[in-house]
Structure 1
Amino acid sequence: MDANPVKAIIFDLDNTLIDTNGAGRYAIQKTHALLKTTLALDDGTITNICEKFMQKLLHEKSEPTSGRSIDDIRMGHWDESIKESVDSCSTPTLAAQCYHLWKNSRLELLNLAPEISNLLKQLRRKYKLLLLTNGNAQTQREKVEAVGCEAFFDRIVVGGDYAEQKPYPSIFRLCFDLLQVEAQDCIMVGDSLDTDIQGGFMAKVRATVWINKSGDAVPVGAAKPDYIISTVLDLEDVLAKVN
């Protein structure tokens, strides 16, 4: 390893520091209940509507936006999901209700657990910390605000504000410049092999740390992290090894 100590840590946000997947499941449950009460349909049909919405979220990046806001796009996802499952049952008002309930319920559940907050406070005494998150700029900034990330990081970079997001090296170079460090001064911590680990490798950071909560093996052909931990709370052990 490099003889020089690590100077900076770049963190992913979703499912690395906050449980976005868990908050999403909770939000879907709340919206499922609203739809069941409003439409008086069986659980299978309501579940199908919610699953269609989630699929539309997954494919959102590849869809044309036509200048629409992310709120309008996602209200459209709910409207289309209902119409595709139940003939003539959707109205703009119902789609808007579903979207705002889903969105607000998800944001309400997002938080930095106390032990993660304490970890970030401790790390910031020794290292520069930067939050680098992919996604729509409005959506990610709403999460950042809801969680109160500004208090824990020297810089926050939202990929949606730039032409290229993780794993492209350009956004990592921006991060290095903002922190006034070199790539080899940094480690990248995240849960995605495709964006966080591959991005860190392409940007030539000192080390990559994969948050692997499921314990799955690294898939064949995927970027191989330098370190694997099940929770970000184990990061200090990794830093001791890197340094």
Structure 2
Amino acid sequence: MDREVKALIFDLDNTLIDTSRAGALAIRKVINTPPVVSTSELLKTELGLDDDTISSICDKFKQKLFRECFDPAAGRSIHDVRVGHWEESLRETVGSVPTPSLAAQCYFMWKNSRLEVLSLSPQIRDLLKQLRSRYKLLLLTNGEAQTQREKVQTAKCAEFFDAIVVGGEHAEQKPFLSIFTLCFNMLGVEAQDCVMVGDSLDTDIQGGFNAGVQATVWISSTGATVPEGSVKPDYTVQTVLELPHVLEQLK
């Protein structure tokens, strides 16, 4: 291409950090972490439940998390909403929540376990250092502000980026043009100077397309192909570590 790439915009979850794996590990830790008091031990102590029933409660929580729609205007914090997921999962499985604090204990144990395993791998840290010597880098992540800021802080992302934008802190998130325009302005570049990198076709790739970036790079960790009718990324890779090969093609 004739136009030089000046900036790279990265998604966070399942692009730079393996959030899906962290969530799964947190659930397993919640169930299987003796002798430290775990959610499994809490539920066994409070309700006398067997392992299959506890696994069912955790599965229900995961399903509610996956379907979650958080609206800060509703007056509930993200913590309240997710404690509510545990309360509902308990009621649906065993019919009651015996103590008001039990669901909150389950939630904070899950949350803290997940944060413990969220990190940038050494290979990705090295990649970002290498890229930042040549390009401006911006982290653009959708999601509830406090939750995403906690991930950013835990993964120690700040040192690798010229700017960090959390969608939940703005009126619109990816794939809307307004948040991409904000990013371009923060970096002092135009859309055609940028490459968008992310794992979501609906938000990252569609957003980059809407904004008119020079190229979009889809992270398809499973090697899946683009579904029929979906927006088409310019490049598809299985890991962000393949990005330098894409950038070579854009020169």
TM superposition score category, shorter chain reference:
over 0.9
Change (3 A) 1:62 1:89: closer
1:62 CA drift (Å): 5.9
1:89 CA drift (Å): 4.1
Structure 2's unaligned 5+ residue stretches are: 33-37
Counterpart-to-counterpart distance in 2, 1:139 and 1:211: 22
**Secondary structure in 2 matching 1:167:** coil
Percent sequence identity over aligned pairs: 63
| RMSD of aligned residue pairs (Cα, Å) | 1.4
Counterpart-to-counterpart distance in 2, 1:133 and 1:238: 22
Is contact 2:10-2:196 (8 Å) kept?
A: yes
Partner of residue 211, structure 2: 203
Q: 2:40 aligns with which of 23, 36, 43?
A: 36
1:29 CA drift (Å): 1.1
Letter in 2 for 1:188: M
Is contact 1:28-1:50 (8 Å) kept?
A: yes
**Secondary structure in 1 matching 2:74:** coil
Q: 1:172 aligns with which of 164, 175, 180?
A: 180
Is contact 2:140-2:166 (8 Å) kept?
A: yes
Partner of residue 124, structure 2: 116
**Secondary structure in 2 matching 1:116:** helix
Is contact 2:205-2:218 (8 Å) kept?
A: yes
Is contact 1:121-1:152 (8 Å) kept?
A: yes
Is contact 1:184-1:206 (8 Å) kept?
A: yes
Letter in 1 for 2:129: K
1:42 CA drift (Å): 2.6
Q: 1:136 aligns with which of 122, 139, 144?
A: 144
Letter in 1 for 2:15: T
Task: Output the TM-score relative to the length of structure 1.
Answer: 0.95
Change (3 A) 1:90 1:202: farther
Task: Output the TM-score relative to the length of structure 2.
Answer: 0.92
1:5-44 pair list within 5 angstroms: 5-33=4-32, 34-37=38-41, 38-39=43-44, 40-44=48-52
1:76 CA drift (Å): 1.2
Counterpart-to-counterpart distance in 1, 2:111 and 2:65: 12
Which is further off, 39-48 or 198-207?
39-48
Partner of residue 67, structure 2: 59
Letter in 1 for 2:16: L
Counterpart-to-counterpart distance in 2, 1:27 and 1:58: 15
Structure 1's consecutive aligned runs of 4 or more residues displaced over 4 angstroms after TM superposition are: 62-65
Change (3 A) 1:152 1:100: same
Counterpart-to-counterpart distance in 2, 1:48 and 1:16: 29
Change (3 A) 1:68 1:89: closer
Which is further off, 59-68 or 223-232?
59-68
1:226 maps to 2:225: no
Deviations 1:202-235 (A, max 9, x none): 1110000011110111100111110011111110
| Aligned pairs, number | 242
